[in-house]
Structure 1
Amino acid sequence: MARFINPFTDVGFKRIFGQAIHKELLIDFLNDLLVGEKRITDITFLDKELLPDFSGDRGVIYDIYCTNEDGEQFIVEMQNREQTFFRERALYYLSQAIARQGERGAEWKFNLKAVYGIFFMNFHLSHSPGKFRTDIVLSDRDTNEVFSDKLRFIFLQLPCFTKEEDECQTDFERWIYVLKNMETFQRLPFKARKSVFEKLEQIVDIASLSKEDRMKYDESIKVYRDHLAVLDFAKQEGLELGMRQGRAEGMAKGIAEGIEQGMAKGIEQGKNEGEMNERLKNARRMKTKGYPIDDIADITGLSTEEINSL
């Protein structure tokens, strides 16, 4: 049985990085992420939900949204599944945070504060170079000179991080190693080197969870595992559909085209339908048990309207 929580679940990720009472963990991680660029001494958590300005517009709910002592904003997201427009979603999230800065009154003169988006991805991002960390800035295409430092994207493809404990050379790499392997540990490494991991070990120990928090975590881990099962099933269905189409259209052409088309269609349809059904089933069960609507929305990713209609 695992001793520590799975940080890739919604509840696990927010327990580590989303609690004001333990904000030193997020501060330490951000400083290691941006080492040599800036030094954050304090952060303030902001409202994770930005309501739309007009009826019919789309609101935004962040995993973690905070600002530092200089007014710079940080959006930290954990994503376990790829989306068709994942890059555009990241751009929309950061753009909303930029645009909201214009609400500070008539005397505001576009003196923007920087917005950083840090996206943990527990999958391989399609059409990417396949490296662990990708930093995106606004720069001149020819000279690479930075045009503006007010918008920054940092994408972390966790499957691309393959270092072992003795291969981690920086504190940032140690953070990633611990997060990626946390559920397999009986004790956290690097505690003698970095005291923050001593604090982290206390927070992520499953035995330290209250009864209520343990119920939320158990539900969250079920949603996470259901997602993995649905994804595996969708991949298999896509493969079988591709093979059937391939045999019908001809072995040579079918294997090349049928598998690719079948997998894409099967994965997309199976994943979307299966995930939504599981999320609705989990939400219905939590609602029956009396969970608050906001907690159900946090764990399942459903909107309050969808939950209220169950």
Structure 2
Amino acid sequence: MDTPVYIPVISDYGFKATFGNEANTLFLRTALQALIKSAIPIREVHFDKNVFEALTIDSRSGIFDLACTDENGSQFIVEMQLGLAPHFVQRMKFYALHKFNTVVERGEFDYANLPKIYAIAILAKSILPTTHFHTIANLRSEMGEIIDNQMTFITVELAKFNKQVTQIETDLEKLVYTMKTLHTTEPTQYPAFWNEEWLKRAIDELDTRKMTPEERAYFARVTAANAEAVKAEKQKIQEAEDRRENLVRSETVKTALQMGLAVEQVARLANVSIEFVAQIQTQLSVD
């Protein structure tokens, strides 16, 4: 498969090369400022550990794509999701509340002067019943009055963004446009704002023509690993679907047998083999 000129920002490699670039945080700092709609520049960030162990019932780890803290102590969690994830809000609540508990415990359960926590979700598809591509949510009253802004949930849904280059004005719009279109854009169609330093540095990291042999090798490894992960996930989904369909057929066969239909009739009704019906019939007789 031909490699495009620009690696997608929303790919695993692209996200780590831009948002997760520890050597140069200009893009990350400007992007975070745009995402939280702050007029105050973020001057420094340091990266935090982004995994916490054994918090779920089955003891699996939780992991988000990026965690960092700015010079004022504000905490940022950033998570990218390419596939459809209708319950993604619940996942972000899980991450944010874990971070909240961590900062409270660190302060010996002192609830005063807690740092702000921003849980940011960047989604390729739409999950919210809203029309705008960028949503900021805080705890509010039924009248819409702000109750607490110590914890803020920010959702970006790329599928809802449809502005053309000539309509783009804000850093937020520049960021989302870049994330959505960079990998499909030819160098001859370069928007003028991609020459702004914060975006130019990020785009240079994603330009395959400028990659070193080591970077190309790493990109190939990441791409292969992601392809395997996608294949494995699709197989899991298919296996789950097969189990569900098998369960539905089994229940249909059981009901039909209990109604007194002949084995051949049940097989035609449920679209299964006579052997399958016979197995269910044997189970029912044992039960």
Structure 2 length-normalised TM: 0.71
SS at match of 1:21: coil
CA deviations on 1:226-275 (whole Å, 9 max, x unpaired) are 849959x97xx99xx9xxx9xxxxxxxxxxxxxxxxxxxxxxxxxxxxxx
2:28 aligned residue: 26
Q: What is the distance in 2 between the residues matched to 1:108 and 1:95?
A: 16
| Partner Cα separation in structure 2 for residue 55 and residue 160 of structure 1 | 35
**CA 4–225 in structure 1, closer or farther in 2 if over 3 Å, else same:** farther
Is 1:190–1:197's contact at 8 Å kept on the other side of the alignment? Answer: no
State the one-letter code of the partner of 2:210: S
Q: Counterpart in 2 of 1:131? A: 132
Structure-2 separation of matches of 1:23 and 1:80: 23
Match 2:44 to one of 42, 59, 64: 42
| C-alpha contact 1:6 1:183 (8 A) present in aligned 2 | yes
SS across alignment from 2:25: helix
Structure 2, unpaired ranges of 5+: 250-287
Tell whether 2:192 aligns with 1:180: no
CA RMSD of aligned residues (A): 3.2
Q: Is the 1:9–1:220 Cα contact (8 Å) retained in structure 2?
A: no
Please report how far the alpha carbon of residue 205 of structure 1 lies from its aligned counterpart in structure 2 after TM superposition.
Answer: 1.0
Classify 1:157/1:54 alpha carbon distance in 2 versus 1 (closer, same or farther; 3 Å). closer
Task: Give, in angstroms, the shift of residue 46 of structure 1.
Answer: 0.6
Give 3-state SS (helix, strand or coil) of 1:87's partner: helix
* 1:75-108 deviations in Å (ceiling 9; x for gaps): 1111011335321111001111111012325484
Query: Are the aligned partners of 2:7 and 2:206 in contact in 1 as well (CA < 8 Å)?
Result: yes
Once the 2 structures are TM-superposed, how far is the Cα of residue 42 of structure 1 from its aligned partner?
0.9
Q: Which amino acid aligns with 2:36?
A: L
Cα 1:117/1:107, change in 2 over 3 Å: closer
Q: Look up the SS of the partner of 2:136 in the other structure.
A: strand
More displaced stretch, 93-102 vs 79-88: 79-88
Deviates more, 1:15-24 or 1:186-195: 186-195
> Which of structures 1 and 2 has the larger relative contact order (alpha carbons within 8 angstroms, sep 6+)?
2
Any idea what SS the aligned residue of 1:22 has? coil
Q: Higher Cα Rg: structure 1 or 2? A: 2
**Distance in 2 between residues matched to 1:207 and 1:193, nearest whole Å:** 17
Could you say if the C-alpha distance between residues 76 and 53 of structure 1 is closer, same or farther in structure 2, counting changes exceeding 3 Å?
Answer: closer
- Identity of matched residues, %: 24
Number of residue equivalences: 235
The one-letter code matched in structure 2 to 1:135 is: I
Query: Is 1:199 aligned to residue 201 of structure 2?
Result: yes
Distance (whole Å) between structure 1 residues aligned to residue 234 and residue 183 of structure 2 = 21
1:156 partnered with 2:153: no
- Closer/same/farther in 2, CA of residues 111 and 7 from structure 1, 3 Å limit: same
Q: Tell me which of 72, 85, 97 is aligned to 1:83.
A: 85
Q: Deviations over 1:259-308 (max 9, x none)?
A: xxxxxxxxxxxxxxxxxxxxxxxxxxxxxxxxxxxxxxxxxxxxxxxxxx
Does structure 2 retain, via aligned residues, the 8 Å contact 1:9–1:224? no
Runs of 5+ unmatched residues, structure 1:
246-310
Q: Does the 8 Å CA contact 1:132/1:156 hold for their aligned counterparts?
A: yes
Q: Aligned in 2, Cα 1:106/1:156: closer, same or farther, shift over 3 Å? A: closer
Change (3 A) 1:24 1:103: same
Q: Tell me whether 114-123 or 130-139 shows the greater mean CA deviation.
A: 130-139
- Aligned to 2:83, the other structure's residue is in SS state coil
Asked if structure 2 preserves the Cα contact closer than 8 Å seen for 1:31 and 1:40, the reply is: yes
> TM (normalized to structure 1)?
0.66
